[in-house]
């Protein structure tokens, strides 16, 4: 059967392309590329003339049937993003899923990844981590994801554009414990590769006076426990959290307020408030079950 290959390409240094990736790009009938101009530069470097077909976020849905037709006719295809591993904060998920559902092999060709390069270069533990990609520019989803960063006990990897990286660092400085550290990776694998490391506030201040240029990956260290330990009044935290939820506040906003008022770690406050939400859902489900087990509804009948 024809195969769809998900080929990782360099994130900067062309020498990072694997031999297997180069051989795959040469052997397939077509290459589905996020930006054909950028991929053409890579193919020219490899002296390849494999046909290119644009596949980006605006035409991915429309391309799906055509791609399946090519696979059905026996044509092997490669899918690449502008740089790095396809589908990671890049288009292609619809195509890969459709190919899988149609029964075609979908084979990843591993290679460069900005996520992993930034993580291992950050100096933070890399055995577990959370990747959130590009955060929304504004709105409740952005706030929710910033809350996830603030309570995560594992390192968090984010992507950001040079135009918005200062805004991201300001938001992290406001939402995270001041002891949290961050490593900002700029222009990974390229000539001007740079890591800026420090507390969130220190790195924020650095980019306030040094104009951000290039592609950025931001790694935030895991949340730290409060210094000196100490007893936590969980009952008081739950009571306050429940009162805030009853006022109509979202769990994320309520947990921030609990942490602020009671001087609790954000991750603990978030866990306690989330437990209240889960318990409420369970109570409602139990109540519904009790009604169903009681007197039969005279209006009920076979569907």
How far is the C-alpha of 211 from the C-alpha of 48, rounded, in Å?
A: 38
pLDDT surpasses 50 at 293: no
Domain annotation covers residue 25: yes
Task: Choose one of 79, 112, 145: the last residue of a domain.
Answer: 112
Residue 143 domain boundaries: 129-220
What is d(CA 46, CA 17) in angstroms, rounded to the nearest whole number? 10
Residues 238 and 216 in one domain: no
* CB-based contacts of 48, cutoff 8 Å, min separation 6: 22, 25, 26
Instruction: Please count the other Cβ atoms lying within 10 Å of the Cβ belonging to residue 42.
Output: 21
Looking at every residue in the chain, the average pLDDT score rounds to 88
**Residue 95 and residue 184 in one domain:** no
Distance CA 201, CA 268 (A): 22
Last residue of a domain, one of 83, 112, 141: 112
Residue closest to 149 by CA, chosen among 115, 107, 177? 177
Q: Which residue matches tokens 């306030």?
A: 208
Q: How many CB atoms lie within 10 A of CB 84?
A: 26
Are residues 89 and 152 part of one domain?
Answer: no
Residue 280 or residue 141, greater confidence: 141
Residue 294 lies in a domain: no
In a domain, 293, yes or no: no
119 part of a folded domain: no
Give a yes or no: residue 298 inside a domain: no
Identify whether residues 277 and 245 lie together within a single domain.
yes
Can you list the alpha helix ranges (DSSP code H) found in 28-139? Answer: 36-46, 60-72, 93-101, 114-120
Task: Specify the 3-state DSSP secondary structure of 160.
Answer: strand
| Total number of domains in the chain | 3
> Does residue 1 surpass a pLDDT of 70?
yes
| Same domain, residue pair 179 and 100 | no
Write down which residue in 112, 139, 172 finishes a domain.
112
Q: Clarify whether residues 161 and 138 are in a common domain.
A: yes
- pLDDT of the residue at 282: 47
| % of the chain residues with pLDDT over 70 | 89
Confidence of residue 230 (pLDDT cuts 50, 70, 90): low
Residues 212 and 251 grouped into a single domain: no
Q: What's the predicted TM-score (pTM) here?
A: 0.76
Tens of pLDDT, residue by residue over 88-103, are 999 999 999 999 999 9
Q: What is the pLDDT of residues 31-54, one digit of tens each?
A: 999 999 999 999 999 999 999 999
Question: Would you say residue 161 has pLDDT above 80?
Answer: yes
Q: What is the CATH number of the domain that holds 193?
A: 3.30.950.10
- Evaluate whether residue 8 is within a structural domain: yes
Locate tokens 């590769």: which residue? 193
- Nearest C-alpha neighbor of 63 from the set 98, 108, 101: 98
Looking at residue 225, its pLDDT comes to 62
58 & 108 share domain: yes
| Exposed / middle / buried, residue 285 (Cβ in 10 Å: 0-12, 13-18, 19+) | exposed
Q: Is 205 inside any structural domain?
A: yes
The token pair that represents 135 in the structure block: 């955060």
How many angstroms separate the Cα of 235 from the Cα of each of 32, 128, 258, 264, 272? Answer: 56, 31, 12, 13, 9
Q: Does residue 208 form part of some domain?
A: yes
Same domain for 156 and 102: no
CATH number at residue 108: 3.40.1010.10
Q: What's the pLDDT tens digit per position in 117-134?
A: 999 999 999 999 999 999
Q: Which residue, chain included where needed, has tokens 């942490």?
A: 259
The whole-number pLDDT of residue 287 equals: 47
């Amino acid at each position: 059967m024809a195969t769809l290959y998900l080929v990782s390409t360099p994130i900067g240094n062309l020498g990072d392309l694997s031999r297997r990736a180069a051989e795959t790009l040469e052997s397939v009938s077509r290459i589905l590329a996020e930006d054909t101009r950028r991929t053409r530069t890579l193919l020219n470097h490899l002296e390849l003339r494999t046909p290119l077909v644009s596949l980006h976020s605006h035409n991915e849905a429309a391309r799906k049937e055509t791609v399946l037709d090519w696979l059905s006719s026996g044509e092997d295809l490669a899918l690449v993003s502008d740089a790095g591993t396809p589908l990671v904060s890049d288009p292609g998920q619809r195509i890969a899923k459709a190919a899988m559902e149609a029964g075609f092999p979908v084979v990843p060709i591993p290679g460069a990844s900005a996520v992993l390069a930034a993580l291992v270069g950050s100096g933070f533990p890399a055995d577990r981590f959370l990747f959130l990609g590009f955060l929304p520019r504004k709105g409740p989803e952005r706030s929710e994801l910033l809350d996830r960063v603030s309570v995560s006990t594992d390192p968090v990897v984010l992507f950001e554009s040079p135009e918005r990286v200062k805004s991201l660092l300001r938001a992290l400085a406001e939402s995270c414990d001041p002891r949290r550290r961050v490593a900002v990776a700029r222009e990974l694998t390229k000539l001007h590769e740079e890591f800026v490391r420090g507390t969130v506030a220190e790195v924020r201040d650095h980019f306030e006076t040094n104009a951000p240029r290039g592609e950025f990956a931001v790694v935030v260290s895991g949340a730290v426990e409060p210094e000196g330990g100490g007893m936590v009044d969980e009952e008081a935290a739950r009571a306050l959290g429940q009162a805030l939820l009853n006022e109509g506040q979202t769990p994320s906003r309520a947990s921030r307020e609990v942490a602020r008022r009671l001087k609790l770690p954000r991750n603990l406050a978030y866990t306690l408030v989330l437990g209240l939400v889960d318990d409420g859902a369970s109570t409602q489900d139990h109540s519904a079950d009790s009604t169903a087990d009681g007197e039969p509804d005279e209006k009920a009948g076979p569907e």
